[in-house]
Amino acid sequence: MSLKVIAFVAGILSMSACTSENNYKSMSTSLVNVSSEKVDTATFGTGCFWCTEAIFEQLAGVLKVTSGYAGGHIKNPTYKQVTTGETGHAECVQVEFEPEKITYDELLEVFWQVHDPTTLNRQGADVGTQYRSAIFYHNDQQKERAEYFKKQLDGENAFGKPIVTEITPIDKFYEAENYHQEYYENNKNANPYCAVVIRPKLDKFKKAFASKLKGAQ
């Protein structure tokens, strides 16, 4: 994603509380904390969950990121089944976070910026319904915020093409097999995919969101 799009998305999401090094412009819309609980949950699909997990677990206020599957029609799917594209599941991550430290809107900012929400059932070379762009909301407030920002971004033609992100209620989240958890951390020097795909994406994310990373405050 270009720096121009990153800046525009951040403007839509009104990062008035924490401006990044990219000098994101702000709007009048304020960030909304959609939960009064000390720990809340969000679920996102941005393509390969190895990438998504590696990114979201860098954020201050995020306690745990779990790779898994959601949005399908069979129980307890395996990775092998999901990769066929026939189960209906999307690879996604479940993010446990502290709303007092990072808001749902801020998580949405990351979501929109770290993948291409305009490509249907595809992220780069990863093709199939399991790689679709998806927000699985846990309550009406999350639904409202996700739909609001999608509408705003589409209305401003932020990505140059219509957003195809699925916004749907979370039904059941199935945790992926153990070897998928902390995949990048455990395989960054062994799997070429980590070096060629995940590492550049993670480096770009860290540069854009430097002020929001763990240890930055």
Residue 70: count of CB within 10 angstroms of its CB: 23
Is 1 exposed, middle or buried (CB count within 10 Å of its CB: 0-12, 13-18, 19+)?
Answer: middle
Residue 200: count of CB within 10 angstroms of its CB: 10
d(CA 118, CA 98): 29
Single out the catalytic residue among 18, 48, 51, 92. Answer: 48
Active site residue 48: yes
CA proximity to 94, closest of 142, 59, 56: 56
User: Using H for helix, E for strand and C for coil, what is the string for 167-188?
Assistant: EEECCCCEECCHHHCCHHHHHC
Catalytic residues: 48
